[in-house]
Structure 1
Amino acid sequence: MSIEVAESQSCPGYVDGPPWLFKGSALYQLHLVKADIARSFIPKDLRLVEAFGYTLGGFFLARYDDSPAGMFDELVVIAGIVWNPPTSCAWAARVLVNSHKACRHGRKHVGLPSHVARFSKSCSKQRVMATSENPKSKWNGFLNMIGISSTCSSPKGCMDIQVTEITGSSATALCDINLPTDDLFCRVRAVEPAKISGPTTALQSDEGRSFDEPSFNSNDDLRDVFAENDSLNRSISVLLSKPIFALEFNSLKMQVDAPTIVSQRSDNVVSDS
């Protein structure tokens, strides 16, 4: 059975064609990303929007409760902004989702650099108390939507999300996202930027081998591993860049149309000066 037929049976929303509708909540955070790092992800015929050696990148973290692929989490690493006359658009460096259907669709139909990942969520230990002691305690809308029960007692608590990329039987830690929490609810608001930290320890397999230790059968496989590791390291650099602004979206309703080709760079439209 082909992948297309399997997706048709289990995920009709994608097969029905665009526009695709996603509902949930999200955090959109902007970072100052070094132009040299961002440019490594962007085709050479497109122009990066930059000033003083930096562009606006960051990440988009979402929890979808309703989508063509059902419920899933998504982390989009945004390398920077590129010109798409008469306006501009964000460029995805890496997309992590905990849904194989969403990953296949992103790669095949949208051209996204999608990868399957695991999203492990936990409350900071110093903030945890029994729910029975504080039955009316609640998270803000976004934290409720991404699947964490209300067990933190302080409005200044935090929640940690560890994102681990999965490739076959191997797993590579990508980053830890530390989200501050409070009890204010609204549909769209500016929030304190989440704190991002890189991977700290290598995961171990059942055989005692490091999960992120590459295995290959040819020189071509070796080159692919090195290229992928380089892309992963640059994606982590984007996430670890300086945050400047964050927006939280509750009751998110996002309509995704069919992908279009980004306009190629034209010196008649945008000059290098």
Structure 2
Amino acid sequence: MDAVETKSATVFLKPPWLFKGSALYQLHLVKAATARTFIPKEFRLVEAFGYTLGGFFLAQYEDSPFGVFDELVVIAGIVWNPPTSCAWAARVLVNNHDACLHGRKDVGLPSHYAGFSKRIAAITEKRRDTSSGFLNRVGVGSFVRSTIKHLDIQVSEIKDSSEAEFCSMRLPTSVSQSTLGKSWMGPLVKMSLPSFR
């Protein structure tokens, strides 16, 4: 990774940077004490009852200044950025060296290079037959087996010549189709990301 740091692939790029693709944004409650370990002391954490809103952002970009790449952003929590608030990235993993460098140098993100492995897997599940409503209510309904497709994603951080698994996800078909860019799952979203450098 050190060799990549010596060049700047983003010298010629001026904002606004345009990224097109599909994404999944999953929100979770995070303990405020845990979130504070990732957020600089000069920023005030948005919290209620000892919790803030964190989660992750998983994206597959089909068009960007750096070409096609995947990104996983782990969000520690929400910080005040008057007059509004914004999500604080605790970790950013991308599988494109130039995008990684751009995130660090131009945007101030904690970007790291990673490998993304994706595969669609079929899983057979046993579930109650919904056509026999009364029998299900009294506990004697029948079960049916159905095959459901999932998208399995493994993300591994790569440092020098070593690789460490960071996370593994299983997304249902409706989400996986969107993530693969094969169907439309929502409105076109335009985002402006602040720089905290």
TM-score by length of 1: 0.56
Between the aligned partners of 1:253 and 1:83, the Cα distance in structure 2 is 22
> Which AA in structure 1 matches 2:47?
E
Between the aligned partners of 1:66 and 1:122, the Cα distance in structure 2 is 21
Alignment check: 8 A CA contact 2:108 2:196 kept? no
> Which AA in structure 2 matches 1:72?
F
> Could you say which residue in structure 2 is the equivalent of 1:115?
112
Between the aligned partners of 2:43 and 2:94, the Cα distance in structure 1 is 27
> Which AA in structure 2 matches 1:173?
E
> Could you say which residue in structure 2 is the equivalent of 1:178?
170
Structure 2 residue aligned with 1:160, among 149, 152, 157?
152
Q: In the superposition, relative to structure 1, how do residues 83 and 253 fare at CA in structure 2: closer, same or farther (>3 Å)? A: closer
| Pairing 1:180-219 to 2, within 5 Å after superposition | 180-182=172-174, 185-188=183-186
| Pairing 1:12-23 to 2, within 5 Å after superposition | 15-23=12-20
Moved over 6 A (4+): none
Between the aligned partners of 1:16 and 1:110, the Cα distance in structure 2 is 12
Between the aligned partners of 2:7 and 2:34, the Cα distance in structure 1 is 35
> Could you say which residue in structure 1 is the equivalent of 2:142?
none
Alignment check: 8 A CA contact 2:122 2:149 kept? no
Between the aligned partners of 2:191 and 2:16, the Cα distance in structure 1 is 6
Between the aligned partners of 1:15 and 1:103, the Cα distance in structure 2 is 16
Between the aligned partners of 2:103 and 2:60, the Cα distance in structure 1 is 16
Structure 2 residue aligned with 1:98, among 79, 88, 95?
95
Between the aligned partners of 2:196 and 2:97, the Cα distance in structure 1 is 25
Structure 2 residue aligned with 1:73, among 65, 70, 74?
70
Alignment check: 8 A CA contact 1:97 1:115 kept? yes
Query: SS state of the match for residue 49, structure 1?
Result: coil
More helix per residue:
1
Q: In the superposition, relative to structure 1, how do residues 32 and 61 fare at CA in structure 2: closer, same or farther (>3 Å)? A: same
Structure 2 residue aligned with 1:61, among 37, 58, 73?
58
Q: Point out where structure 1 has 5 or more consecutive residues left out of the alignment.
A: 9-13, 128-152, 189-248, 263-273
1:32 aligns with 2:29: yes
Between the aligned partners of 1:58 and 1:253, the Cα distance in structure 2 is 18
Query: SS state of the match for residue 104, structure 1?
Result: helix
Q: Aligned-pair RMSD on alpha carbons? A: 2.5
Offset at 1:85?
1.5
RCO comparison, higher one (Cα < 8 Å, 6+): 1
Q: Point out where structure 2 has 5 or more consecutive residues left out of the alignment.
A: 125-145
More strand per residue:
2
Between the aligned partners of 2:108 and 2:121, the Cα distance in structure 1 is 37
Between the aligned partners of 1:254 and 1:116, the Cα distance in structure 2 is 25
> Could you say which residue in structure 1 is the equivalent of 2:161?
169
Query: SS state of the match for residue 19, structure 2?
Result: strand
Offset at 1:122?
1.5
Alignment check: 8 A CA contact 1:19 1:255 kept? no
Offset at 1:95?
0.2
> Could you say which residue in structure 1 is the equivalent of 2:121?
124
1:47 aligns with 2:37: no
Query: SS state of the match for residue 157, structure 1?
Result: strand
Offset at 1:255?
5.5
Offset at 1:45?
1.5
Alignment check: 8 A CA contact 1:29 1:59 kept? yes
What is the total number of aligned residue pairs between the two structures?
A: 166
TM-score by length of 2: 0.76
